[in-house]
């Protein structure tokens, strides 16, 4: 037990996160890739804009480019030409004149405003305006969106689909991104089988590894799936050595509590450093964290919900840090508990809940009825975690609680 633990040897989530932040190193290798391949990758260097966006003053409407002082209600101006998107006019608008203009077309010299065509009537070469114009109306100024030299996206930013468009708007062809960590996965446990195999009495399907693999792939990590490894010291040693050689991080689930067949912990202790943590969170109490010669090791609890919660709360932020990604705090909202919640003081609960917004915009939340850490359907049906503080006891209906809504990552939306 370390000084950071309470009388029961439990380590708070905050301290565990802090320890991981200190132990998990930032990436040191980067590559240059085509922008079209870069969605989901993390920028290793900031992107500065080489140009203004827009690059020139242009019209926000289809209508007429005018000198605002000429346009009073009922004024008529002489139409002298047209400016189209991609086909600027080289004419200059002088007093009493206007130019037909389309959305995105460069503002002609002399004009300082655009009147939309719905507020004008054209008869031959004459255009009559219904109301007065003000200088600058419907004009998009050069550099309004992005100015030349500006940092458009900082280092550590994970590129979204929209960012691909944004960087294209400044003419970027390639970006420098951090190398993505490779994560090795395997499961151990005599009771585990694969779909397609027979399921003898007492056995279950290995669900944690496929779920973790999908979560990792969805987050953009390379996965080295080593499959099911028999509960046999030589097989486990081989798997760990291979994973250490080929991956940056190794994740296993199961065998981290006080059970008998825990070879993983013993072999890890021979190969590197290993810490056994008892986290003050529910579910997800037991967890191993270790350092092998070339990789980091996370041993998640076997109960499926516990494995998902520890992955989401602790492993994923560490992987993001290793990817060079800026820290992002989980979004937490206040909600009213629609019914009472059972809670024992001592561990921070991540109960699986369903949150809804009432017509006033207030959040209400109910917990899924079965909160056992073995019931994976509870997290599949949930759309949020109900986060109940460590020392809190039972929650009465109507009390306020924190919720962490699942994002598209934990639940397709
Ligand atoms: N005497 C105690 N027993 C347990 C304690 C404790 O403190 N004292 N802690 C409980 C808690 S909390 C958890 S969580 C589990 C963690 O156990 P392990 O990580 O050692 O996991 P196993 O014993 O191997 O398995 C637990 C459970 O999960 C199933 N499992 C394992 N791997 C998978 C997988 N890949 N896919 C699906 N399901 C898996 C396994 O069959 C067990 O049912 O320990 C409690 N016990
Ligand atoms: O903490 Mo265990 O992870 O509750 O089921």
- Whether residue 388 is predicted with pLDDT greater than 90 in this model: the reply is yes
Q: How far is the CA of 331 from the centre of ligand 1 (A)?
A: 29
| Fold exhibited by the domain 333-405 | Beta-clip (2.40.340)
**Are 106 and 58 contacting, i.e. CB atoms less than 8 angstroms apart?**
yes
Which two tokens mark 353? 């809940």
Give pLDDT, residue 47: 98
Q: How far is the CA of 304 from the centre of ligand 2 (A)?
A: 9
Relative to beta strand 76-83, strand 97-101 is: parallel
Give pLDDT, residue 330: 83
Look up the ipTM and state it: 0.96
Q: In the chain, where are the structural domains located?
A: 13-29+180-322, 35-51+144-178, 58-140, 333-405
**Are 387 and 333 contacting, i.e. CB atoms less than 8 angstroms apart?**
no
Q: What is the pLDDT of residues 193-226, one digit of tens each?
A: 999 999 999 999 999 999 999 999 988 999 999 9
Give pLDDT, residue 328: 79
Domain spanning 13-29+180-322: which CATH class is it, in words? alpha beta
| Mean pLDDT rounded to a whole number for the chain | 94
Residues 368-379 as b or e (16 or more Cβ within 10 Å = b):
beebebebbebb
User: Span 336-348, mean pLDDT?
Assistant: 97
Rounded distance, CA 186 to CA 204, Å?
16
**Are 310 and 284 contacting, i.e. CB atoms less than 8 angstroms apart?**
yes
Ligand 2 atom at minimum distance from 285 CA = 1
Q: How far is the CA of 349 from the centre of ligand 2 (A)?
A: 10
Q: Would you say the CB of residue 253 lies under 6 angstroms from ligand 2?
A: no
Ligand 2 atom at minimum distance from 309 CA = 3
Give pLDDT, residue 146: 97
Structure confidence at residue 259 as a pLDDT band (50, 70, 90): low
User: Span 325-351, mean pLDDT?
Assistant: 93
User: Span 233-237, mean pLDDT?
Assistant: 92
Judged by DSSP in three states, 266 sits in helix
- Whether residue 258 is predicted with pLDDT greater than 70 in this model: the reply is no
Give pLDDT, residue 254: 86
Give pLDDT, residue 326: 86
Judged by DSSP in three states, 397 sits in coil
Where are the strands (E) in 68-125, listed by range?
76-83, 97-101, 113-116, 120-123
Q: Would you say the CB of residue 276 lies under 6 angstroms from ligand 1?
A: no
Structure confidence at residue 382 as a pLDDT band (50, 70, 90): very high
**Which of 84, 48, 3, 25 has the alpha carbon at shortest distance from 248?**
25
- Whether residue 411 is predicted with pLDDT greater than 60 in this model: the reply is no
- Residue 115: Cβ-neighbour burial (10 angstroms; 0-12, 13-18, 19+): buried
**Cα–Cα separations (whole angstroms), residue 17 to 170, 325, 358, 410:** 38, 16, 34, 20
Structure confidence at residue 261 as a pLDDT band (50, 70, 90): low
Q: Whose CA is nearest to atom 26 of ligand 1?
A: 302
Neighbours of 147 (CB within 10 A): 13
Judged by DSSP in three states, 348 sits in strand
Q: Would you say the CB of residue 302 lies under 6 angstroms from ligand 2?
A: no
Contacts of 225 (CB under 8 A, 6+ apart): 184, 185, 186, 209, 213
CA atoms within 13 A on the CB side of 250: 30
C-alpha 18, offset from chain centre: 20
Q: What is the pLDDT of residues 89-142, one digit of tens each?
A: 999 999 999 999 999 999 999 999 999 999 999 999 999 999 999 999 999 999
**Which of 3, 41, 36 has the alpha carbon at shortest distance from 19?**
3
Ligand 1 atom at minimum distance from 285 CA = 12
Structure confidence at residue 78 as a pLDDT band (50, 70, 90): very high
Q: Would you say the CB of residue 255 lies under 6 angstroms from ligand 2?
A: no
Rounded distance, CA 409 to CA 392, Å?
28
Q: How far is the CA of 307 from the centre of ligand 2 (A)?
A: 8
Q: Whose CA is nearest to atom 3 of ligand 2?
A: 284
- Whether residue 397 is predicted with pLDDT greater than 70 in this model: the reply is yes
Give pLDDT, residue 98: 98
Give pLDDT, residue 413: 34
**Which of 202, 207, 194 has the alpha carbon at shortest distance from 254?**
207
Ligand closest to the CA atom of residue 191? 1
Q: Which residues pair with 403 in a beta bridge?
A: 333, 386
Q: How far is the CA of 205 from the centre of ligand 1 (A)?
A: 14
Higher pLDDT residue, 23 or 154?
Answer: 154
Q: How far is the CA of 310 from the centre of ligand 2 (A)?
A: 10
- For 58-140, CATH gives 2.170.190.11
| Fold exhibited by the domain 35-51+144-178 | Molybdopterin biosynthesis moea protein, domain 2 (3.90.105)
- Whether residue 292 is predicted with pLDDT greater than 80 in this model: the reply is yes
Q: What is the dihedral of CA 210, 211, 215, 216, to 10 degrees?
A: -40
Ligand closest to the CA atom of residue 9? 1
**Are 315 and 248 contacting, i.e. CB atoms less than 8 angstroms apart?**
no
Q: How far is the CA of 302 from the centre of ligand 2 (A)?
A: 9
Q: Would you say the CB of residue 285 lies under 6 angstroms from ligand 2?
A: yes
Q: Would you say the CB of residue 303 lies under 6 angstroms from ligand 2?
A: yes
Structure confidence at residue 264 as a pLDDT band (50, 70, 90): confident
Ligand closest to the CA atom of residue 376? 1
């Amino acid at each position: 037990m370390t000084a950071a633990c309470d009388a029961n040897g439990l380590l708070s989530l905050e301290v565990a996160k802090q320890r991981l932040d200190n132990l998990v190193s930032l990436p040191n290798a980067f590559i240059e890739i085509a922008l079209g391949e870069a969605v989901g990758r993390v920028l290793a260097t900031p992107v500065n804009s080489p140009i203004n966006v827009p690059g020139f003053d242009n019209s926000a409407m289809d209508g007429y480019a005018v000198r605002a002082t000429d346009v009073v209600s009922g004024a008529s101006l002489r139409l002298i030409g047209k400016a189209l998107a991609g086909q600027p006019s080289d004419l200059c608008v002088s007093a009493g004149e206007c130019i037909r203009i389309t959305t995105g077309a460069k503002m002609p010299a002399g004009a300082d405003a655009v009147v939309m065509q719905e507020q004008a009537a054209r008869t031959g070469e004459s255009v009559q305006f219904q109301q007065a114009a003000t200088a600058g109306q419907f004009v998009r100024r050069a550099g309004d969106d992005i100015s030349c030299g500006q940092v458009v996206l900082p280092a550590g930013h994970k590129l979204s689909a929209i960012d691909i468009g944004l960087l294209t708007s400044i003419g970027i062809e390639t970006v420098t991104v951090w190398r993505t960590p490779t994560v090795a996965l395997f499961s151990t446990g005599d009771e585990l089988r694969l779909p397609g195999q027979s399921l003898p009495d007492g056995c279950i399907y290995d669900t944690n590894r496929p779920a973790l693999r999908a979560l990792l792939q969805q987050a953009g990590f390379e996965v080295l799936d080593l499959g099911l490894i028999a509960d046999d010291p030589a097989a486990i040693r081989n798997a760990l050595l291979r994973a250490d050689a080929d991956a940056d991080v190794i994740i296993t689930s199961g065998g981290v509590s006080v059970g008998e067949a825990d070879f993983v912990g013993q072999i890890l202790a021979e190969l590197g450093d290993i810490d056994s943590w008892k986290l003050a969170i529910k579910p997800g109490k037991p967890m191993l964290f270790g350092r092998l010669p070339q990789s980091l090791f996370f041993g998640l609890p076997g109960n499926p919900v516990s494995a998902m919660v520890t992955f989401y709360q602790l492993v994923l932020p560490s992987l993001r840090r290793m990817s060079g990604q800026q820290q992002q705090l989980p979004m937490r909202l206040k909600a009213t508990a629609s019914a009472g919640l059972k809670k024992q003081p001592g561990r921070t609960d991540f109960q699986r809940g369903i949150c809804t917004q009432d017509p006033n915009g207030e959040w209400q939340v109910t917990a899924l009825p079965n909160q056992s850490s073995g019931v994976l359907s509870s997290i599949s049906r949930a759309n949020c975690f109900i986060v109940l503080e460590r020392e809190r006891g039972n929650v009465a209906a109507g009390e306020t609680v924190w919720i962490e809504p699942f994002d598209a990552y934990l639940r397709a939306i």
